[in-house]
Structure formats: structure tokens, C-alpha cells
């Protein structure tokens, strides 16, 4: 690529017409990162009349359920957000009219006149509309980015951006935290589906298109006007390159080589006029991006010439060394402009004001950051004499545009163009007049087809214990409904049977199956084994009865599917298509040509090691069959050492230590891993049943040890949960090997129950004893400790 006119050797292997050293736009925006913001005199004039407290409030972004309109009127936050699980007035399923009502309410509170000459600055609302405005009931749910990457259609993505902007704007929201321009390089990452591709150039191309769709084309009269919204390129940078695909983890390596992959989309987005860049949770070579001045200021602003604002991610500033969520001058000094602080906004605001007063933060730094916020508001028409409350703007309150017929047709087009046929022995397209059986629990589920970031953060199948129903997805078409309608139109017949049972033998069976919804770290995997065998069982059942089968696989990433591909006559990677399942049927019935091509290499083995156009690919980047292509791969190897991983020995499970296993703290026995001694208190807690797990509380300097009588064999697998990150060193000793696991535990904290896998890779010899020592206070929950013979070469992971 070209950065500043210098061709940098790409650190990836590119193909399918995207190879070579692509020319990315040079920009004349380059300016000193320390230069004050001065878009004319308006920003400076406003700054000169603002109090310190009002300035700092411009840099605070709380979430909607943590403050009131009265708080907005008092503090005058520069912006606010709704989280993935946040709806107006505490109702996640609130109708669109309530979203608009809250937007008006907050705008009005922020613009009430202030005493004296101090200006009242309108606030702005940001949201995660990452595949359409899918937080709102009735919105069009577009395919996730991984599917759009398979279309390779920038014009399509641009049109999706424009439709999404309209649906955001009619609900009164000003700002979208999108596009995600991560270059996902390890498919075990739980956010892989938010990435367009493993190829940085394709990500850059489609990221630019979405920016232009959301904001309009820079230099035209409609740029950031009418029904356009502010776009955000995220997450800067390296989010898709973490070790082992661990969300919010560490990215290490030569900085220029990292830029040559993970920074590629940013100069392209900047050239398109993107107004916001979001800092990433990850670290680069040990430095958290929220506090990385070298990259946030010197590189992003100085070298790349970005002149918009930098927003943090959800409490991301609190992960900087020396910071807490409520006390972090480091981020502002490094180049962050807005702190995303969902709940703890008040103490953070107070600490920042105090740090300006005591000189920790120079006033010039505050003015520069506030100036950037004001500048973006001016550019977006949110500040100035023509600024209007949300319901009075262009299309304001035109809620009939939400999920409109045109937008749903666009989503259906995107679904069809994103389908990738990996195998077809001739069953596709389905012949006219066929009798069709549709099986699989996902077939009639828009929730399963939509994935994460749909009505809720995780895209779960229920909310507050109430299962979603069809009424929660008005106007949508499930994959089953699309197939049913297409069959009728072709003079055929389709019936649905989730468990695959039938009375009359069908001509063909379509099995719809795949991953259940997830978002962010909840989707992180250790391997690419697809553990749910519902689809495999159904495919083999029909295969045994001589019924041709079509596998429709819903997933947020490529996965090891050798068994399912072998058992099917046709296999379609359907990704996470969203609300318009008829687009899937368009391909199955040949209404559209199959043009989808892989934007990620498909793995040949199940271990999960990054593929990225290497010889580990079963289907390479760019692969995809047309409907006329009747080639099928030779029978694939179904061997996977990670299947049926049964423990060779159980040390602790269901609240009990096994015979021959002893636990102790400072020489004091802890029968059943319960009791206290040596600064350790271990008590029973309920995970799945009464007292089936332990919560171990460490005093500073305490150690707990567990050992087996006689010789132990196998790798260690520990099921654990850590609510809060350790603040002092934590040391794991396995056999004769000691290693610091502080960083690994910091990354796993707050992510729920996880498996720690300790193998010969990091603890040669393993032995029959393990211990954990904490230099500071720590609470660790443990549900199971076992030993397994993991495949040779398995990485240690946490």
C-alpha cells in the first residue's frame, strides 16, 4: 500500500485481483498533532465563552439508562450512547417513536439557555448500527460485514450505508459507531463477523463505501446533511490481529508490519471524510491503544492527517496502566477526545475537572479535544443557527422509512450476493416442482439468521427471560419462509420439520443450521470445531435414506466443516444474512446467479491456527462456485483430535476433589477445595447446581496448591471465572515451571466462564502439581480441573 507516498510491502498474501502494492490515497490533511483545532473562528469563539465544567462535559459520553434529562440539562454532555442492551426509558423493545421522543428530550435539555454568555451546545447521540439499525424493532437487518465482504460489491455496501443512515436519522440519532474496519486474521476471534475480510485492501474498499453511504460524498451538498449521519472507523487499530484471536487482547510485532495490515483501511476512510475514529481495546506491543500517544496522536493525526475526533470504546480508558474508569488523564493526554463511560460518568467528570485545575491536564489539551467535538458538530449541521431538534429535521419522525420496502429489497439483494457455494453435486438450483423438506431449528428463526447486535448486544433468543417471537421482527422473512414462497412460485411444495421427520419422502432436504448468536468476547473460540452436531446428524440421516441434501450454514466465521461437507450434496456458506431470508432462496432456486466469493480463507483442519491464504486453506480466499459449476471436492479428511476430548483424569468437579487429589494453602489442607488457611478462603458457590464450584479469595501474598498422589498425565484444563482483573502479579506454577499469568487473567476478566489450557508448550513436563500465587487480593472462581491428552502442539490459552 502507500502511506505518505511510500510503498510498504504488504505483510499478507493477496489474491483474486487484489494483489500487489495497491495505491491508497495520499492526503493533504497532514498537520501537527499538537496544532489547535480552528475550523474558522466559530469553534474558537465558542470555546472562549465555555466554562471548564461545560468543556469537560463535552468529552463525557454516558449511556442512556445511566442519566436523565435533568442530568443532561445540568451537566450538558457532549454526546451519549445506547449500548447493545440499552433501549429508551429502560425498554429494549421500545417502539421507534420512543427512540425519537428520547432524542428530542435530550436535545431540548442540552440546548436550554445557560446563564450569562455561555453557549448551549446541542448534544449528539451515538449508536451501534453495525448491520442496519438493528437495535430498533422494525428496522431492516442487513447481513453482517463478513457476508458483505463475500459480495465484493462496494456500490451495494454504499447503498446499505445510505439506507442505514436514513433509518438511524428518522429515530433521531446522529452518529453511528460504524464501519468496523478490522482486518480479522484469526477466525477464533468473536468479532470476526464484524470484519469484511482477512484482506486489508478489501476491508479498505468496503469500509470507504460504508462511510460514503452513511455520511454522503465529501465535497457534495448532501455531505453530512439531510438523512446522513456521522460515521466512525473502528477500532484503531489492530483489533483483528490479537494473539489467539482473544478479544481486547495483545497485538505484537514490528510496528511497520502491523501497520501494513491493520492500519490499511484508515487512510482510505480518512480520505472519504470519516469524522470519527474509535480507539481499540487491544494493546500494541504492550501499550493499550486508548493511551497510546505515539499512535493516536503522532501517527493517526500527524502522519495520516486525521482531523476529526477520537472516541473511546466502552470504559476502554480504564484499562490503561495507571488508570481507572473514573480517573484517567492519560487518555486525554494521549489523544482521546471523548471518554465512553457508560455508568461512572459523574466521578470521571469530577476527576477531569480537578486535573485541569491542578495542572495535570493543560487547558490547551482540553480546548483541543473540545474543539474537535465542536468542529464535528458544525460539519454535521448539529451546531449553528440552522440546527433543529431531531423530530424537525429532514425525514425527522418519518418512521415509515424504518424497514421500508425499498430497504428490505436492498437487504434481500445483499443476502443473495453474499451466499457462497462451496459444494454442488448438481442438486442446485432446486428444480421446479420439487417436494422439499426444510429441517433445522434455525430455519424459521430470524434471531439465528441475524446473529449478534440484533435487538440485544448478544443477539440472544430471549430478553429478560422472554423468548423473542415473530412479532418482535415485523416485516421480516425467515429462511424457511423464503424457501416456502419460492417453492410455491415454482409449482413445488415445501414443508418444515425442525427435527427432520417426515411421512412422505421428499425430493430434496434443505438443512439450515449453524452458530448461535454471540457478540464480542462471548464468541471467542479455542478451536474452529463446530460442536453442535444437529446439522451433521440431520445430513447423515437424509444421506442414509438416499435423499439429496443442501446444507445452509449460518456462521460468523469460516469453521471446520469437513464432516458436514462430506454428508451434503450442496453446501452453502450463508454467513449471518439478517432479516431477508428470501435472498437465500433466490440462490437455492436459481433466481439469481451465485456470485458470492470467500473473503476469508476456509480452514482445512479444526485446530484454529490462522489460515489467511496459506496452504492450510481448504477453500482459498476468493473461492466460490456458480450454480453451473457442479464440481465437488474429494472426500475430506474427518480426523480432528479436538473432537470428543474426554478427560483422562478429573481433579475437581461438581464440588468435590477426586480420590488421590489434595488441596492446601500454606500447608493447611482444604478438603473438597473448601475452607480457609494461609490467606486463602475457599467457599462453595452455585454455577449449574448447588455448591458445584468454588470461589477462592486470596489475600496479598497467598498461594493455593492442588496436587495428585503419584504420577500425573495429560494437559491441564481449568474451567474458571474471574469477575475483576488482578491488579498485582499472579503466578501459576505447573510442575517445575513458573510463569506470570497476570496479563492473561486481565484479558479474561469479566468475560464469564472460560477454559484455561496448560500444555507442554508453556509448561514442559507438566508434573502432578499446580499452584496459583497472588501478590495482591484476588477472587477466582473454579468449576472444574481436569487433565486431557490435547493434540500435540496445542497452545496454552486462557
Cite the active site residues: 313, 520
- CB of 245 closer than 8 Å to CB of 196: no
DSSP letter assigned to residue 121:
P
Cell numbers that stand for 186 in this block: 484469526
The residue whose grid cell reads 432462496 is 585
Question: Which run of H or of E encompasses 527?
Answer: none
- CB of 651 closer than 8 Å to CB of 659: no
- CB of 559 closer than 8 Å to CB of 454: no
Query: How many angstroms separate the CA atoms of 42 and 68, rounded?
Result: 30
β-pair type (675-677, 680-685): antiparallel
- CB of 130 closer than 8 Å to CB of 144: yes
- CB of 200 closer than 8 Å to CB of 257: no
**Judging by beta carbons within 10 Å of its beta carbon (0-12, 13-18, 19+), is residue 176 exposed, middle or buried?**
buried
DSSP one-letter string for 638-672:
---TTTT---SEEEEETTEEPTTEEEEETTEE-GG
Cell numbers that stand for 375 in this block: 468542529
Alpha helices in 112-254 (DSSP H): 145-151, 154-170, 200-215
Query: How many angstroms separate the CA atoms of 713 and 788, rounded?
Result: 8
- CB of 224 closer than 8 Å to CB of 275: yes
- Order of strands, edge to edge, in the sheet holding 549-554? 420-424, 570-575, 549-554, 508-514, 435-439, 493-496
DSSP letter assigned to residue 74:
H
- β-partners of residue 580 are 477
- β-partners of residue 798 are none
Look at residue 353 and give its three-state secondary structure.
Answer: helix
Query: How many angstroms separate the CA atoms of 711 and 178, rounded?
Result: 54
Query: How many angstroms separate the CA atoms of 517 and 43, rounded?
Result: 44
β-pair type (232-236, 175-176): unpaired
Amino acid at each position: 500500500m502507500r502511506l505518505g507516498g511510500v510503498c510498504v510491502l504488504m505483510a499478507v498474501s493477496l489474491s483474486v485481483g487484489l494483489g500487489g502494492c495497491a495505491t491508497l490515497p495520499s492526503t493533504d490533511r497532514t498537520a501537527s498533532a499538537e496544532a489547535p483545532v480552528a475550523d474558522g473562528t466559530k469553534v474558537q469563539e465558542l470555546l472562549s465563552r465555555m466554562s471548564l465544567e461545560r468543556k469537560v462535559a463535552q468529552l463525557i459520553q454516558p449511556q442512556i439508562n445511566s442519566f436523565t434529562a435533568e442530568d443532561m440539562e445540568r451537566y450538558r454532555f457532549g454526546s451519549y450512547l445506547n449500548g447493545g442492551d440499552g433501549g429508551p426509558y429502560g425498554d429494549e423493545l421500545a417502539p421507534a417513536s420512543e427512540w425519537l421522543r428520547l432524542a428530542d428530550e435530550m436535545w431540548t435539555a442540552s440546548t436550554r439557555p445557560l446563564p450569562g454568555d455561555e453557549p448551549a451546545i446541542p448534544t449528539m447521540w451515538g449508536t451501534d448500527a453495525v448491520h442496519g439499525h438493528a437495535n430498533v424493532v422494525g428496522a431492516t437487518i442487513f447481513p453482517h460485514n463478513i457476508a458483505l465482504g463475500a459480495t465484493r460489491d462496494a456500490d451495494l455496501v454504499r447503498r446499505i450505508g445510505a439506507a442505514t443512515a436514513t433509518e438511524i436519522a428518522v429515530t433521531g440519532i446522529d452518529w453511528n459507531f460504524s464501519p468496523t474496519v478490522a482486518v480479522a486474521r484469526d477466525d477464533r476471534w468473536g468479532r470476526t463477523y464484524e470484519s469484511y475480510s482477512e484482506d486489508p485492501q478489501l476491508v479498505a474498499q468496503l469500509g470507504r463505501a460504508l462511510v460514503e453511504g452513511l455520511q454522503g460524498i465529501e465535497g457534495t451538498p448532501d455531505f453530512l446533511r439531510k438523512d446522513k449521519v456521522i460515521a466512525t472507523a473502528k477500532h484503531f487499530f489492530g483489533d483483528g490481529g490479537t494473539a489467539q484471536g482473544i478479544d481486547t487482547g495483545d497485538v505484537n510485532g514490528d510496528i511497520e508490519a502491523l501497520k501494513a495490515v491493520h492500519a490499511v483501511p484508515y487512510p482510505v476512510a480518512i480520505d472519504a471524510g470519516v469524522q470519527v475514529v474509535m480507539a481499540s481495546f487491544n494493546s500494541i506491543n504492550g501499550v493499550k491503544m486508548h493511551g497510546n500517544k505515539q499512535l493516536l496522536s503522532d501517527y493517526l493525526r500527524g502522519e495520516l492527517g486525521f482531523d476529526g475526533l477520537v472516541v473511546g470504546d466502552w470504559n476502554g480508558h480504564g484499562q490503561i496502566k495507571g488508570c481507572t474508569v473514573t480517573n484517567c488523564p492519560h487518555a486525554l493526554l494521549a489523544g482521546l477526545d471523548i471518554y465512553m463511560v457508560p455508568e461512572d460518568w459523574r466521578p470521571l467528570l469530577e476527576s477531569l475537572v480537578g486535573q485541569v485545575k491542578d495542572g495535570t491536564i493543560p487547558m490547551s489539551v482540553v480546548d483541543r479535544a473540545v474543539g474537535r467535538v465542536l468542529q464535528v458538530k458544525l460539519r454535521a449541521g448539529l451546531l449553528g443557527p440552522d440546527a433543529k431538534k431531531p423530530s424537525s429535521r429532514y425525514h425527522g419522525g418519518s418512521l415509515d422509512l424504518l424497514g421500508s420496502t425499498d430497504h428490505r429489497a436492498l437487504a434481500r439483494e445483499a443476502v443473495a450476493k453474499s451466499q457462497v457455494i462451496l459444494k454442488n453435486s448438481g442438486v442446485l438450483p432446486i428444480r421446479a416442482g420439487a417436494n422439499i423438506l426444510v429441517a433445522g431449528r434455525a430455519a424459521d428463526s430470524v434471531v439465528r439468521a441475524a446473529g449478534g447486535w440484533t435487538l440485544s448486544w448478544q443477539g440472544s433468543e430471549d430478553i429478560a427471560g422472554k423468548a423473542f417471537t415473530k412479532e418482535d421482527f415485523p416485516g421480516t422473512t425467515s429462511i424457511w419462509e423464503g424457501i416456502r414462497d419460492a417453492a410455491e412460485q415454482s409449482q413445488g411444495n415445501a414443508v418444515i420439520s425442525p427435527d427432520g421427520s417426515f411421512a412422505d419422502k421428499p425430493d430434496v432436504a434443505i438443512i439450515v443450521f449453524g452458530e448461535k448468536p454471540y457478540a464480542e468476547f462471548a464468541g471467542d473460540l479455542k478451536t474452529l470445531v463446530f460442536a453442535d452436531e444437529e446439522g451433521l446428524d440431520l445430513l447423515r440421516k437424509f444421506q442414509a435414506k438416499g435423499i439429496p441434501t443442501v446444507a445452509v450454514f449460518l456462521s460468523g466465521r469460516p469453521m471446520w466443516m469437513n464432516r458436514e461437507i462430506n454428508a451434503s450434496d450442496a453446501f452453502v456458506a450463508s454467513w449471518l444474512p439478517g432479516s431477508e431470508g428470501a435472498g437465500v432462496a433466490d440462490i437455492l432456486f436459481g433466481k439469481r446467479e451465485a456470485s458470492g466469493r470467500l473473503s476469508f480463507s476456509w480452514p482445512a483442519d479444526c485446530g484454529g491456527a490462522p489460515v489467511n491464504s496459506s496452504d492450510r486453506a481448504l477453500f482459498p480466499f476468493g473461492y466460490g462456485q456458480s450454480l453451473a459449476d457442479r464440481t465437488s471436492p474429494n472426500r475430506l479428511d474427518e480426523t480432528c483430535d479436538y473432537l470428543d476430548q474426554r478427560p483422562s483424569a478429573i481433579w475437581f468437579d461438581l464440588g468435590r476433589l477426586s480420590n488421590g487429589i489434595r488441596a492446601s494453602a500454606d500447608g493447611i489442607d482444604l478438603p473438597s477445595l473448601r475452607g480457609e488457611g494461609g490467606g486463602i478462603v475457599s467457599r462453595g458457590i452455585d454455577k449449574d447446581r448447588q455448591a458445584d464450584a468454588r470461589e477462592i479469595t486470596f489475600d496479598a501474598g497467598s498461594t493455593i496448591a492442588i496436587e495428585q498422589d503419584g504420577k500425573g498425565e495429560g494437559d491441564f484444563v481449568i474451567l474458571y471465572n474471574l469477575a475483576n482483573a488482578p491488579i498485582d502479579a499472579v503466578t501459576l506454577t505447573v510442575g517445575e515451571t513458573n510463569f506470570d499469568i497476570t496479563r492473561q487473567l486481565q484479558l479474561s476478566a469479566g468475560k464469564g466462564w472460560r477454559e484455561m489450557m496448560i500444555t507442554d508448550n508453556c509448561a514442559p513436563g507438566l508434573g502432578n502439581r499446580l499452584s496459583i500465587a497472588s501478590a495482591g487480593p484476588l477472587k477466582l472462581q473454579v468449576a472444574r480441573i481436569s487433565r486431557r491428552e490435547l493434540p500435540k502442539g496445542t497452545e496454552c490459552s486462557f
